[in-house]
Structure 1
Amino acid sequence: MRLLPTLAVVALSMALAAPVTADPSLWKGEWPDTDFEKTTITNWAEIMSGGPPKDGIPALSDPQFIEVAQETRIKGNEPVITVVVDGERPRAYPIRYLTWHEIVNDTIGDIPVAVTFCPLCNSALSFDRRVGDQVLTFGVSGKLRNSDMVMYDRETLSWWQQAIGTGIVGEMTGAELTLLPSWMEGFAQFAERHPDGVVMAEPAWNRPYGQNPYRNYDSSKQPFLYSGEMPPHDVPPLMRVVRVGDRAWPMNRLAEEREISEAGVVISWREGQASALDAGTIAAGRDVGSVRVRDTDGADLPHDVLFAFAFHAFWPDGEWMMGN
């Protein structure tokens, strides 16, 4: 597997940090205002430094948007996260930006949302940022658990597991974010269906947007920064799976059947989306297809398209929808 130097640096920092991650005392010194007495973590060795410090990967807030017709940087096959809220213009959040920022704090209508992307798990999830009467603002902690991003909220400095949208350390331990329907698709697919939509504008940061720092990652045999159990049924750990609740449909089955209707959901697959974790530039990535998940009445359902190892790590008793 060829990886760009950024990942090599992260790997080295991980190797150096590994002996001291079994106790929360290291994190207490770095996070003095986080309540480590409240936590669901029973094995602190699961929490690892991903290399960058707190906010070393800068989350975005209050992004700007441009009209679909004005977008000239993004190729048609480049992946975007689509969020559609009733009564509001559809929004596309390009992965070329989320690769470098991982979280976008936005407000759509009267709904405060967090649009998130964890490259190491290919997990792209959108959440309602409200917990009770409180609106949270999320940042990137620099920590990983099962190779998945640990987010934090700026209001209580609690830690949150991105893949499950649940508080794992601090005041918000046990709190669950509401998952919103959103999906990854090629930009041309978004533009075709939503010519009146808007696209997140390029952030004012000095980043090589459009490049992929995780080159060839999703064709590797071993997940990066992960030492947990591999998925069953001989499913390759870095195969994408479609997760709905605690069920997972392997992407190779979807690509072959193109539409599956079972367990109360209808999942469709079509070409047109480049992998963001393949070639050195995102637009040059191989076509991995776009997925939509709806109920039997045609309404979009919350779901994720993540790597098989991550599904197995967070849903070890989950159901694998392997077909006949």
Structure 2
Amino acid sequence: MRIFTTITAFFLAVQSASASPEFWAHEWPDTNFSKTTVENWVEILSGGPPKDGIPALDDPQFIALAAADLPVNEPVITVDIAGEPPRAYPVRYLMWHEIVNDQIGDMPVAVTFCPLCNSGIVFDRRGPTGTLRFGVSGKLRNSDMIMYDRESQSWWQQATGTAIVGDLTGAQLQALPAWMESWDSFRTANPEGRVMAEPDFNRNYGTNPYVSYDSSHRPFLYSGELPPHDIPALARVVRIGDKAWPLSRIAAAGMLTEEGITLTWAAGQASALDGGTIAQGRDVGNIRVRDAAGNDIAHDVMFAFAFHAFWPAGKWMINPG
């Protein structure tokens, strides 16, 4: 975890100074800090880069599958909108950009990935005041990315899709059915699909700047409670609403049907947060989540600590039934 040791001490040292909105106002003069659901500002920390220091992508280009040169086990986020060819957003790009503002047919989407929580969620970008475009604030709460919209400069919690600071405080983005799977799984199932082209940035795409992160004992810049039931903080769980299924339980069963939901696991996807390159990551498998009619439903494969932080009263699906 070479990126952590050089900055952790500094940000913990300034934590008390940043425990008020006034600390951030000079950087965010157009954000209305008088409207917020944040009660404990100690939870808001800088992740290192400033506002837009991690550049979100707008209106990406897409190429045919045959033109892509990706390792077969690398993860992609799949978005399949009715009437449009399925699209794959490689995590090797999201690792360095975290948000992609795209338009699929009539649907404006934000494809988001927070490496520190392993949280990959796709949102409908239509908010209460119209279509929004999102950027990376550089701030973290419970180690999860805080996004902002460029229209109102409101802050949004990526894990929940909820506005937490600014004029749009309390607004909720709709999460869309999307899933993370291996590149080979996507291209096999979707020969007519399209894949996002490599962005025109000087980044070492395909490498993992968070080496061995998902085998750490504690998350980065997180001081909250650890998960119950002796579940490791950085164990992956499948979150559906306020319920969480440990990935290890699904993998052991291969398929689970509970609460009217069927969860399936198949080998073949590398962890993006393990080896020095994503393709070297250990196999964490492909997850699909469907309802009783066989329709894909919105979900997230996130770390256990993040689920507990944002859904402290959530239900842990650790036993049959």
* Superposed displacement of residue 15, structure 1: 2.6
Indicate conservation of the 8 Å contact 2:55/2:97, yes or no.
Answer: yes
Indicate conservation of the 8 Å contact 2:53/2:136, yes or no.
Answer: yes
Q: How many residues align?
A: 320
Identify the residue that residue 17 of structure 2 maps to in structure 1: 20
Q: Which amino acid aligns with 1:190?
A: F
> Is 1:31–2:28 an aligned residue pair?
yes
Gap runs ≥5 in structure 2: none
For 1:265 and 1:177, the matched residues in 2 are separated by 22
Residue correspondence of structure 1 range 1-324 to structure 2 within 5 A: 3-4=1-2, 6-72=3-69, 74-324=70-320
For 1:305 and 1:10, the matched residues in 2 are separated by 27
Indicate conservation of the 8 Å contact 2:56/2:97, yes or no.
Answer: yes
* Superposed displacement of residue 123, structure 1: 0.1
What TM-score does the superposition give when structure 1 sets the normalisation length?
A: 0.97
Gap runs ≥5 in structure 1: none
Indicate conservation of the 8 Å contact 1:13/1:51, yes or no.
Answer: no
For 2:215 and 2:167, the matched residues in 1 are separated by 39
Residues 39-75 of structure 1 show CA distances to partners (whole Å, capped at 9, x for unaligned) of 0001100100101000000000000010011111x10
Cα distance change of structure 1 residues 13 and 59 upon mapping to structure 2, 3 Å threshold: farther
Indicate conservation of the 8 Å contact 2:214/2:274, yes or no.
Answer: yes
For 1:58 and 1:144, the matched residues in 2 are separated by 16
For 1:90 and 1:23, the matched residues in 2 are separated by 43
- Specify the SS of the correspondent of 2:66: helix
- Specify the SS of the correspondent of 2:229: coil
Residues 178-229 of structure 1 show CA distances to partners (whole Å, capped at 9, x for unaligned) of 1000000000000000011000000000000000000000011111111100
Q: Which amino acid aligns with 2:4?
A: L
Cα RMSD between the aligned structures? Answer: 0.9
What TM-score does the superposition give when structure 2 sets the normalisation length?
A: 0.98
Indicate conservation of the 8 Å contact 2:128/2:171, yes or no.
Answer: no
* Superposed displacement of residue 12, structure 1: 3.8
Seq. identity, %? 62
